[in-house]
């Protein structure tokens, strides 16, 4: 296989894995293996730039942290469309169009994606800027974040690409990814997002593009703007931009009359729930740009386009009872059990209630008749009570005070929305959930083990703690007695468990399932503390000195290590051979200009990322500290440095140097 064929094959494979992860939420390889393939592609691209794909997966890495978004005025205002909810309004719109331009025209029908509007500017085929809709006349520059979206090309390919143009579209999140991410937030006791649109909008406005990259976003493009007339029709423009590398929806229709438009609307009214993402209507546009120009605009919207909005699917049913689920972190979530009812093509028996505050807001009583909606919500949601149907003696729903499984009194911390069960070592769903989390792809990524297997092992008394996984090889006879668990399965599982001992400290730390310690926090803690013993004895001050570690996380870590059961488990895992220390990579020194000096990097910088500055310091003999203390020699200060770091550095008289001053010290 030639070098180019190797590179093309890697691009195709990585794109498929990205699709599996982002769209299907069903990854087929682990993070480590994906990163290894990505690194292999990056090396080949560096060695053979002539074969590099401009839209390679290696380009979707994200840029600098953005503390505040720059406001950019739109060259062409991003107008909203007029909305309608009924057929007669559409026929009236059609009549107005006919009076203005006659009968010789076509419509283009497009899905109305329920996401966040975005405008992309391309200069000489390269993505130059991405701006949100904002108020329609100006929006926020979110270029670094948008560059992480795998379906947005950084560099275009094809013929007829203008030197400068804008293309507009919608950023959204697929339902499977939304459910997965929301479940993770719920288990961590964090506020969940109501729907994929809100999740997508919140993600686009995050400050760190590397964090944005971890949240799977997608984008459909559908409208080109340029000083020159590039195409005669909208339909023609869609075909062209697709050939340039843009992600354009296949679900569009060229309609010859309003009846064909209504047929398209009727089709998607029933089929929209089969899509992997949300739509809330259909957009109808006059196809010819010349005819669009003739029709013109009102003050707020074009006269040549209109959107038909579907009503959120809503039904009435009876609330039979409220039950409670316990997650792996102990968070207790209420669920409404409903009299089965058909909603949006599926039978609904349950609806989310989120938390105690939601039950209070709805004012729910036992056996209430409720309205249930499935619009932008993935999981059906109770939207209101039919008060006319309430019994005079109806009893209000009272949130439980003890765990529904182990009956331990529930706790609720100040400022949090979730109640949780503190009995993490004795509550069955927490025990099972913790072990399932530990073996997961983002943690220890143990091949041959799945959630159902862990459930079975727990019920049979084979595992009660994470550490029990590492003595399963001693229980071969009990494993063989499990139905449909043959010798090959056992062999693969034991090999997967043995291989997991090589996983780095940050993965082990995330796998422990400490409350509020997600994947990113685990990485920062591992880099900051280096060893589990150092983390276990760290003070609140030590922990909060680590970048982005707040008081809530620090207190949770101290609570975790205060429990004797947790410390015993870690000792057993140490004895099993797991990694509880950061494996430092040997740095090849470029010079000894900074030898013996200690540094801390804070803020954002113009010429280098923080990781690049860290590497530069270490390559020239310097040492990076995790927080501000009397041991620190220099604080490398960029823009938007945190006020607490600035105050502490000033108090300790620590010299603050700029990016330029650091480079001068080296040279």
Percent of the chain with pLDDT over 70: 93
Strand 381-385 to strand 313-326: parallel, antiparallel, or no bridges (unpaired)?
Answer: unpaired
pTM of the model: 0.57
What residues contact residue 375 under an 8 Å CB cut-off, 6+ apart?
280, 312, 313, 314
pLDDT of 12 above 60: yes
Cα distance from N-terminal residue to C-terminal residue, the chain: 44
pLDDT of 372 above 50: yes
Tokens in use for 86?
């009924």
CA distance 184 to 186: 5
- pLDDT band, residue 584 (cuts 50/70/90): low
Mean pLDDT, residues 545-566: 90
CA distance 173 to 178: 7
Q: For position 187, what pLDDT does the model report?
A: 72
Q: Number of C-alpha atoms within 13 angstroms, CB side, residue 108?
A: 23
Q: For position 546, what pLDDT does the model report?
A: 83
CA distances from 597 to 96, 459, 618, 623, 632 (A): 75, 55, 10, 6, 8
Tokens in use for 320?
């039979």
For the residues of 506-560, what is the DSSP string, one character each?
Answer: HHHHHHTT-TT--HHHHHHHHHHH-BHHHHHT--HHHHHTSTT--HHHHHHHHHH
Q: For position 167, what pLDDT does the model report?
A: 97
Match 């691009």 to its residue by tokens.
11
What residues contact residue 374 under an 8 Å CB cut-off, 6+ apart?
312, 313, 314, 343, 344, 348, 380, 381
Q: For position 184, what pLDDT does the model report?
A: 80
Q: For position 17, what pLDDT does the model report?
A: 76
CA distance 163 to 135: 27
pLDDT of 385 above 50: yes
CA distance 207 to 66: 5
C-beta of residue 328 within 8 angstroms of C-beta of residue 513: yes
Percent of the chain with pLDDT over 90: 51
Tokens in use for 593?
């200009």
C-beta of residue 452 within 8 angstroms of C-beta of residue 500: no
Tokens in use for 169?
């579209």
Q: For position 487, what pLDDT does the model report?
A: 86
Match 């590398």 to its residue by tokens.
245
C-beta of residue 640 within 8 angstroms of C-beta of residue 67: yes
C-beta of residue 186 within 8 angstroms of C-beta of residue 327: yes
Type and span of the H or E element at 169:
strand 164-172
Domains defined along the chain, listed by start: 3-59 (1.10.287.610), 71-309 (3.30.470.30), 313-389 (2.40.50.140), 428-502 (1.10.150.20), 505-576 (1.10.150.20), 598-666 (3.40.50.10190)
Lowest mean pLDDT: which of 49-63, 213-227, 585-599? Answer: 49-63
Type and span of the H or E element at 220:
strand 218-225
Q: To the nearest whole number, what is the mean pLDDT of the chain? A: 87
Mean pLDDT, residues 520-547: 89
CA distance 19 to 26: 9
Lowest mean pLDDT: which of 224-233, 248-257, 307-316? Answer: 307-316
CA distance 115 to 246: 17
The beta strands (E) that lie in 241-364 are given as: 252-255, 279-286, 305-309, 313-326, 331-343, 346-352
Higher-scoring residue by pLDDT: 67, 536: 536
pLDDT of 404 above 60: yes
CA distance 317 to 336: 11
Highest mean pLDDT, choosing among 62-76, 339-353, 589-603, 643-657: 589-603
What residues contact residue 617 under an 8 Å CB cut-off, 6+ apart?
594, 599, 601, 623, 624, 636, 662
CA distance 253 to 250: 9
Tokens in use for 574?
């140490």
DSSP-derived secondary structure letter, 160: S
pLDDT of 41 above 60: yes
pLDDT tens-digit series, residues 83-122: 888 899 999 999 999 999 999 999 999 999 988 999 999 9
Higher-scoring residue by pLDDT: 190, 582: 582
Tokens in use for 95?
């009549």
C-beta of residue 197 within 8 angstroms of C-beta of residue 279: no
- pLDDT band, residue 61 (cuts 50/70/90): very low
Q: For position 62, what pLDDT does the model report?
A: 43
pLDDT of 587 above 80: no
What burial class does residue 572 get, using C-beta atoms within 10 Å of its C-beta: 0-12 exposed, 13-18 middle, 19+ buried?
A: middle
CA distances from 365 to 149, 370, 385 (A): 44, 10, 9
Phi first, then psi, for residue 225 (nearest 5°) are -130, 135
Helix (H, G, I), strand (E, B) or coil at 505: helix
pLDDT of 31 above 60: no
Lowest mean pLDDT: which of 125-129, 343-347, 579-583? Answer: 343-347
What residues contact residue 609 under an 8 Å CB cut-off, 6+ apart?
63, 64
Lowest mean pLDDT: which of 91-105, 159-173, 224-238, 343-357? Answer: 343-357
pLDDT tens-digit series, residues 612-663: 888 899 889 998 887 788 888 999 988 766 666 778 888 888 999 999 999 9
In degrees, to the nearest 5, what angle opens at C-alpha 410 toward C-alphas 409 and 411?
125
pLDDT tens-digit series, residues 278-290: 898 999 999 999 9
pLDDT tens-digit series, residues 448-469: 898 999 999 999 999 999 999 9
CA distance 414 to 83: 43
Type and span of the H or E element at 270:
helix 258-271
CA distance 364 to 350: 15
Tokens in use for 345?
């093509």
C-beta of residue 226 within 8 angstroms of C-beta of residue 166: yes
Q: For position 594, what pLDDT does the model report?
A: 92
Whose CA is closest to 209, among 130, 133, 273, 281? 130
pLDDT tens-digit series, residues 467-525: 999 999 999 889 988 887 888 889 999 999 999 999 999 999 999 999 889 888 898 89
pLDDT of 362 above 90: yes
Tokens in use for 434?
């913790």
Residues classed as catalytic: 112
C-beta of residue 475 within 8 angstroms of C-beta of residue 546: no
pLDDT of 377 above 70: no
Higher-scoring residue by pLDDT: 589, 119: 119
Q: For position 640, what pLDDT does the model report?
A: 65
CA distance 301 to 297: 6
pLDDT of 298 above 90: no
Mean pLDDT, residues 245-267: 96
Highest mean pLDDT, choosing among 41-50, 411-420, 572-581: 572-581
CA distance 515 to 506: 15
Helix (H, G, I), strand (E, B) or coil at 7: helix
Calculate the dihedral angle through the C-alpha atoms of 495, 501, 503, 508, rounding to the nearest 10 degrees.
120
Q: For position 25, what pLDDT does the model report?
A: 47
Phi first, then psi, for residue 585 (nearest 5°) are -85, 130
């Amino acid at each position: 296989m030639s070098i180019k064929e190797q590179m093309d094959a890697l691009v195709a494979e990585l794109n498929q894995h990205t699709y599996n992860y982002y769209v299907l939420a069903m990854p087929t390889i682990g993070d480590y293996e994906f990163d290894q393939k990505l690194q292999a592609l990056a090396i080949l691209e560096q060695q053979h730039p002539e074969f590099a794909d401009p839209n390679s997966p290696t380009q979707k890495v994200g840029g600098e942290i953005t503390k505040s978004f720059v406001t950019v005025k739109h060259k062409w205002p991003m107008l909203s469309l007029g909305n309608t909810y009924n057929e007669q309004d559409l026929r009236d719109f059609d009549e107005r169009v006919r009076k203005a331009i006659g009968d010789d025209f076509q419509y283009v029908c497009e899905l109305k994606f329920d996401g966040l509007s975005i405008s992309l500017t391309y200069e000489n085929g390269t993505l130059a800027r991405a701006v949100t809709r904002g108020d329609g006349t100006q929006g926020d520059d979110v270029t670094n974040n948008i560059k992480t979206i795998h379906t947005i090309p950084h560099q275009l390919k094809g013929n007829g690409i203008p030197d400068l143009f804008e293309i507009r579209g919608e950023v959204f999140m697929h339902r499977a990814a939304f459910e997965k991410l929301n479940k993770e937030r719920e288990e961590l006791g964090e506020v969940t997002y109501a729907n994929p649109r809100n999740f997508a909008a919140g993600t686009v406005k995050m400050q760190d593009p590397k964090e944005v990259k971890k949240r799977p976003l997608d984008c459909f493009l559908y409208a080109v703007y340029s000083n020159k007339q590039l195409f005669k029709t909208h339909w023609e423009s869609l075909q062209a931009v697709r050939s340039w590398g843009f992600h354009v929806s296949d679900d569009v229709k060229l309609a010859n009359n309003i009846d064909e438009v209504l047929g398209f609307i009727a089709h998607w009214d029933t089929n929209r729930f089969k899509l992997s993402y949300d739509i809330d209507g259909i957009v109808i546009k006059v196809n010819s740009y010349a005819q669009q120009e003739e029709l013109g605009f009102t003050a707020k919207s074009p006269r040549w386009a209109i959107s038909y909005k579907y009503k959120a699917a809503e039904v009435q049913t009876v609330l039979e009872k409220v039950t409670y689920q316990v997650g792996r972190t102990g968070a207790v979530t209420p669920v409404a059990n409903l009299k089965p009812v058909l909603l949006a093509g599926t039978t609904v028996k349950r609806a989310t209630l989120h938390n105690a505050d939601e039950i209070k807001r709805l004012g729910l009583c036992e056996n209430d008749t409720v309205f249930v909606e499935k619009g932008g919500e993935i999981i059906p949601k109770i939207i209101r009570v039919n008060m006319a149907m309430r019994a005079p003696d109806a009893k209000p729903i009272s949130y439980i005070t003890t765990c529904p499984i182990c009956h331990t009194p529930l706790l609720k911390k100040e400022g949090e929305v979730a109640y949780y069960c503190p009995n993490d070592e004795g509550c069955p769903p927490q025990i099972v959930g913790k072990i399932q989390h530990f073996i997961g792809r983002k943690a220890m990524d143990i091949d041959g083990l799945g959630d159902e297997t862990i459930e079975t092992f727990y019920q049979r008394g084979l595992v009660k703690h994470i550490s029990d996984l590492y003595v399963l090889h001693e229980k071969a006879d009990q494993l063989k007695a499990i139905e449909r668990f043959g010798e090959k399965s056992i062999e693969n599982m034991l090999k997967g468990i043995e291989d997991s001992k090589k996983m780095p400290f940050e993965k082990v730390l995330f796998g422990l399932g400490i409350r509020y310690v997600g994947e990113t926090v685990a990485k920062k803690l591992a880099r900051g503390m280096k060893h589990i013993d150092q983390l276990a004895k760290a003070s609140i001050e030590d922990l909060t000195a680590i970048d982005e570690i707040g008081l809530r996380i620090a207190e949770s870590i101290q609570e975790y290590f205060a429990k004797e059961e947790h410390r015993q488990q870690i000792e057993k895992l140490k004895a099993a051979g797991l990694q509880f220390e950061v494996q430092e990579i040997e740095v090849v020194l470029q010079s000894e200009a900074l030898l013996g000096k200690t540094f801390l990097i804070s803020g954002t910088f113009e010429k280098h990322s923080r990781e690049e500055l860290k590497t530069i310091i270490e390559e020239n003999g310097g040492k990076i500290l995790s927080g501000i203390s009397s041991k620190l020699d220099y604080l490398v200060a960029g823009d938007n440095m945190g006020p607490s770091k600035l105050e502490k550095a000033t108090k300790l008289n620590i010299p603050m140097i700029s990016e330029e001053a650091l480079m001068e010290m080296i040279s």
